[in-house]
Structure 1
Amino acid sequence: MIKYDLIPEQLIYEGTCTKENFFCPEPIDEKWVLNVHDGAYWMGLKNGSIDPRMIRRIGFPLSPQLVMREMIIARGTLECCNLAKSNGIAMNVAGGTHHAFPDKGEGFCLLNDIGIAAGYLLDMKLAQRILIIDLDVHQGNGTAVMFQNEPRVFTFSMHGKDNYPLKKEKSDLDIPLKTGETDEIYLENLTQNLSQLFEQQRPDFAFYLAGVDILETDKLGHLSVSREGCRQRDEFVFRECKRRGIPVAVLMGGGYSPRLPDIVEAHCNTFREAQKIYF
């Protein structure tokens, strides 16, 4: 999507970021892919031999370029973990491919970048307790299944009740929201539940999937959160993470408003809030 080019361009143009603030990752080492993904599934992606029915569920025609793109996104999220450990926060302009399961892809997701990066943190002993804060409008079903038997990773998904996926998986905590919910209810649910999770789980690392498909302008979201409400959401997550000394890697996730400026501006707000709070 063109938003991936426009977001950094806008941030550099307005002075929120400089060119030096951005990096272009190499493809990820496949050992980290195989750490959380099934070997047969990964070989199918590499060889282009995935079942046609799964390709339809993914939603993209399978190609080497698409697989490479997902490997680059995953490496970007992994590198964000290292940068967040040093700086408190780091952000992937893409990322948030939370519909990828260990053994299959769907919903435009082939590899689960959060899952891969979380596995890296645990294996390298860079984190002992991880909290995944998934605020994309769609449930993080693949991530939920990936870590359902991993007590060191807590999955929290606040999403549209009547939205994709039709069959929801079980996260450690799911907060389904009714169609049409506005700022007040959304932010009330977020502040109450996330504050409790920070106290109960005591994470030493967090992933934040900051999808802007919660916007009232979004054609797929079915919620009615304003752009200001979306900004307040980001501000709350960042302030809580910073106050508690929890490094956070941020992924942009979805955004499908008909007007491209609505998408870009909401995503840029996420970067602006990070800049204001951390730097």
Structure 2
Amino acid sequence: MIRIAHHPIYAHPLPEGHRFPMLKYDLLPEQLVRQGTCTMEQFFSPEIIEEEHVFRAHKPEYYRDLVTQQLEPRAARKIGFPLSAALVKRELMIAQGTLQGCLYALKHGIAFNIAGGTHHAFSDRGEAFCLLNDQAIAAQYLLHSGKAAQILIIDLDVHQGNGTAEIFRENSSVFTFSVHGKSNYPFRKEESDLDIALPDNTDDETYLSIIGEKLPELFNRLQPDFVFYLCGVDVLAEDKLGRLGLSMEGARKRDELVLSLCHARKVPVQCSMGGGYAPDIRTIVNAHANTYQVARDLYE
């Protein structure tokens, strides 16, 4: 059975420009239950993560400035959201949801976080709506606790995982693999262990061919004992913040490639949802729901 971390939407009003993309966090669970992909019993609401886990991925000074809302104005502006205690609390819950998902995946093969995929959070700062890097925090926990020795992070969001790349730059136990739009944010890229920067309007056939070639090579070479999958749906052609050209079916086949490899090789995988900014909220929710349907068909 798939296990899914779900988090309450912000308890305080957001500015108009931020409300629309947040709707998917409430609509997606409803869709999954209505379609029969999941039941309510599969969802859990995490607590706040313990500080010691955060400090393995983030500098204590940054974390404390964030929690006390003492970030310098320039650093706060880079995050993009108006900072509040409720926002920080939710981010701490997201990180704990990913960590708990890892523990479940170790026993049952796979787990999801409805939110997460905050890959623009660096060790010492946040950027682009990312305050704390949930998958980096969880990866460090797995290594520290001896629950994993070689981790592969597969980041297929349309934006490069620059924060994740920075956090694990000197860590050979974590291999960072990012496939993203060449012309997309961040315009100054970090260096992942393997980056594939794609031109605008890359289509299904090209994209899937690259993924289908590179992923088996990485599994064979690295022999990972845990995988993190950032499965953003901002790769769709209609996405407002993306510049690639995937169809809904192409994005689904992408998920099938990744999750089929994990399933066939019995490598536990934790999935965080990442971005999705199509003009029609139904497109975003349906694209994310496809990822869960692929996992259900494989793991149940």
Return the TM-score normalized by structure 1: 0.99
Q: What secondary structure does 1:249 align onto?
A: strand
| Residue 262, structure 1, aligned to residue 276, structure 2 | no
Q: Amino acid of the residue matched to residue 272 of structure 2?
A: L
Please report how far the alpha carbon of residue 14 of structure 1 lies from its aligned counterpart in structure 2 after TM superposition.
Answer: 1.4
Of the three residues 108, 111, 114, the one matched with 1:93 is 114
Return the TM-score normalized by structure 2: 0.92
CA distance in 1, matches of 2:74, 2:273: 28
| Residue 58, structure 1, aligned to residue 79, structure 2 | yes
Report what 2:11 is aligned to: none
Of the three residues 4, 14, 25, the one matched with 2:46 is 25
Corresponding pairs, count: 279
CA RMSD, aligned part only? 0.5
Report what 1:193 is aligned to: 214
CA distance in 2, matches of 1:100, 1:75: 16
CA distance in 1, matches of 2:28, 2:147: 30
CA distance in 2, matches of 1:55, 1:46: 12
User: What residue ranges of structure 2 are gaps of 5+ in the alignment?
Assistant: 1-21
Of the three residues 171, 176, 194, the one matched with 2:197 is 176
Report what 1:139 is aligned to: 160
Report what 2:128 is aligned to: 107
Measured against aligned partners, the alpha-carbon deviations of 1:146-174 in whole angstroms (never above 9, x if no partner) come to: 00001000000000000000000000000
Report what 1:67 is aligned to: 88
Moved over 6 A (4+): none
Report what 1:250 is aligned to: 271
Report what 2:249 is aligned to: 228
Please report how far the alpha carbon of residue 245 of structure 1 lies from its aligned counterpart in structure 2 after TM superposition.
Answer: 0.8
Q: Amino acid of the residue matched to residue 94 of structure 1?
A: A
| Residue 239, structure 1, aligned to residue 260, structure 2 | yes
CA distance in 2, matches of 1:197, 1:41: 33
Identity across matched positions, percent: 56
Measured against aligned partners, the alpha-carbon deviations of 1:221-274 in whole angstroms (never above 9, x if no partner) come to: 011100000000001111100111100000100000000000000000000000
| Residue 125, structure 1, aligned to residue 131, structure 2 | no
Please report how far the alpha carbon of residue 133 of structure 1 lies from its aligned counterpart in structure 2 after TM superposition.
Answer: 0.1
CA distance in 2, matches of 1:217, 1:195: 29
Measured against aligned partners, the alpha-carbon deviations of 1:117-160 in whole angstroms (never above 9, x if no partner) come to: 00100011000000000000000000000000010000000000
Q: What secondary structure does 1:151 align onto?
A: coil
Of the three residues 219, 230, 233, the one matched with 1:212 is 233
CA distance in 2, matches of 1:46, 1:238: 35
